[in-house]
C-alpha cells in the first residue's frame, strides 16, 4: 500500500506577519546597520531582530548586527532568475497601450545596442498615416530622440568612442553631425529630462522621447511619442513631454529602477 504524503499542518503566516517580514527585507536591502533597518521598517526593535534572524536562517539576508546586513544567496538567486525572465515588451505594452489612447500618436520603445537603437515596441495611433518604423529596425542614436536620451546619460568618453566608430552620418538636413553640437544637445537633454527629434532622422517625422532606466538605474531604453510635422509643426510635439516622461518613469519602475 502506497504511503500517503505527509501534510504540513503548521498555520500559515498571517498577512500582517508577511507584511512585516517584507518590510524588514526591504529595509535590510536599503540599509546595512540594524538601527537604520529598524528606522526604515518602522517596526519595533524586537520584531526587526526576530525577523532578521529568520531571514538570515533562510539565507535571504546575510550578515549580522555587528558587520551589517546584505542580500543573501537565496535572494540573489531569486533576483537572477527574475532578471533573466524580464521581457520589456510584455512589461511596457500595457503602458504603451494607455499612452496611445491618451495622445493618439505612434509610440515606440527602443533598446540601446552598442551603436544603435532597436525598436522593440511600435503602437500606432488611429490616424490614417503610419510611421515607416517597424519592430526590429535599427536606427542611429545621434539622429533620433530615443537615441539621444540614452546618449545623454553615457559618459562623454563613451559618446566620443561611438563617434570614432560610426561617425555622425547625415540622415536629413537637420541631423546633428558636429561632435560639439551633439555634446551641447545632450547637455540640454539631461537638463530638461527628454529629447526632441525635429526631422533629424526622417524628413517630416517628429518626436519627443524620454529615458527608461533598468534595475540598476542605467538608461538602457527610450520611449518616444512620434507624429508627422504636418500635424505637429515646429516644436509642438514637445507638448507631450510630460506624458512621455510619466510613461517612461512607470516602465522604469516596473523594471525595478531605483527611485531618483
Beta carbons of 229 and 205 less than 8 angstroms apart: yes
What is d(CA 209, CA 139) in angstroms, rounded to the nearest whole number?
14
Give domain 86-254's CATH superfamily. GAF domain (3.30.450.40)
Return the SS3 of 140: strand
The CATH class of 15-83 is: mainly alpha
Residue 140's pLDDT band, with cuts at 50, 70 and 90, is: very high
pTM for this entry: 0.74
Q: Are 166 and 158 in contact (CB under 8 A)?
A: no
Cα–Cα dist 129/205, whole Å: 11
pLDDT digits (tens, 9 = 90+) for 44-65: 889 989 998 989 888 888 888 8
Of 138, 150, 187, 180, the C-alpha closest to 163 is 180
> pLDDT tens-digit profile of 78-137?
776 765 656 788 899 999 999 999 999 999 999 998 889 999 999 998 887 777 788 888
- Which residues of the chain are in CATH 1.10.10.10 domains? 15-83
Residues whose CB is less than 8 angstroms from the CB of residue 10 and which lie 6 or more positions away in sequence, other chains included: none
Distance between CA atoms of 250 and 113, rounded to whole angstroms? Answer: 22
Region(s) of the chain under CATH 3.30.450.40: 86-254
Amino acid at each position: 500500500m502506497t504511503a500517503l504524503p505527509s501534510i504540513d499542518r503548521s498555520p500559515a503566516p498571517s498577512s500582517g506577519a508577511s507584511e512585516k517580514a517584507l518590510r524588514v527585507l526591504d529595509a535590510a536591502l536599503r540599509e546595512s546597520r540594524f538601527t537604520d533597518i529598524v528606522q526604515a521598517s518602522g517596526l519595533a526593535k524586537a520584531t526587526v531582530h526576530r525577523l532578521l534572524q529568520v531571514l538570515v536562517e533562510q539565507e535571504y539576508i546575510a550578515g549580522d548586527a555587528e558587520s551589517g546586513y546584505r542580500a543573501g544567496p537565496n535572494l540573489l538567486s531569486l533576483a537572477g532568475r527574475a532578471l533573466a525572465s524580464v521581457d520589456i515588451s510584455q512589461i511596457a505594452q500595457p503602458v504603451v497601450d494607455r499612452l496611445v489612447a491618451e495622445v493618439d500618436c505612434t509610440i515606440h520603445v527602443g533598446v540601446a545596442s552598442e551603436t544603435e537603437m532597436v525598436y522593440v515596441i511600435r503602437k500606432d495611433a488611429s490616424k490614417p498615416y503610419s510611421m515607416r518604423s517597424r519592430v526590429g529596425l535599427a536606427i542611429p542614436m545621434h539622429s533620433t530622440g530615443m537615441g539621444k536620451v540614452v546618449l545623454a546619460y553615457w559618459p562623454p568618453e563613451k559618446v566620443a568612442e561611438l563617434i570614432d566608430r560610426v561617425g555622425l552620418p547625415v540622415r536629413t538636413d537637420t541631423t546633428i553631425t558636429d561632435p560639439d553640437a551633439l555634446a551641447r544637445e545632450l547637455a540640454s537633454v539631461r537638463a530638461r529630462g527628454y529629447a526632441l527629434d525635429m526631422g533629424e532622422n526622417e524628413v517630416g517625422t517628429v518626436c519627443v522621447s524620454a529615458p527608461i532606466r533598468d534595475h540598476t538605474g542605467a538608461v538602457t531604453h527610450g520611449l518616444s511619442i512620434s507624429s508627422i510635422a504636418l500635424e505637429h509643426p515646429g516644436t509642438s510635439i514637445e507638448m507631450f513631454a510630460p506624458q512621455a516622461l510619466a510613461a517612461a518613469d512607470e516602465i522604469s519602475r516596473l523594471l525595478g529602477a531605483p527611485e531618483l
